[in-house]
Amino acid sequence: MAKNVLICDDAAFMRMMIKDILTKNGYNIAGEAENGVKAVEKYNETHPDLVMMDITMPEMDGIQALKKIKEQDPKAVVIMCSAMGQQAMVIESIQSGARDFIVKPFQADRVLEAVKKAVG
């Protein structure tokens, strides 16, 4: 059965890129969110198998959203996405329960490798 993925990024272009990579490889898109507040709401509505979460977003950043989601569902599987040079934030997100992280600009094979490792 195809896994459901929630994509959270403030850039529509990035969401589209991730959605494209995942749908071409048999994953379902459970929803999209453009900020951390929406990410938490959508997570609670859709209960996806995996969340792809950008670190830097308006209203609530990805790390805060990650912590909120993990608080509500300790089993949540989240992969963080970050731009280069966000090492401290990447470390904080892993310590906060993120399963993995991928660096922008995305390489399709790296995205798929992280997703497969996280949810099979």
**DSSP-assigned letter for residue 85:** T
| Angle at alpha carbon of residue 93, lines to 18 and 34, rounded to 5° | 40
Q: What is the mean pLDDT of each run of 10 residues along the chain (120 residues)?
A: 94 96 97 98 98 95 97 97 81 94 89 93
pLDDT of residue 89: 86
pLDDT of residue 104: 86
Provide the 10 A C-beta neighbour count for residue 71. Answer: 11
pLDDT of residue 39: 98
Strand, coil or helix: 94: helix
pLDDT of residue 1: 78
Task: Answer whether 5's CB lies under 8 Å from 52's CB.
Answer: yes
Among 21, 22, 24, 20, smallest CA distance to 48 is for 22
pLDDT of residue 82: 86
- What is the helix (H) or strand (E) element at residue 90, kind and residue range? helix 87-95
pLDDT of residue 86: 72
Query: What tokens were used for 18?
Result: 């991730």
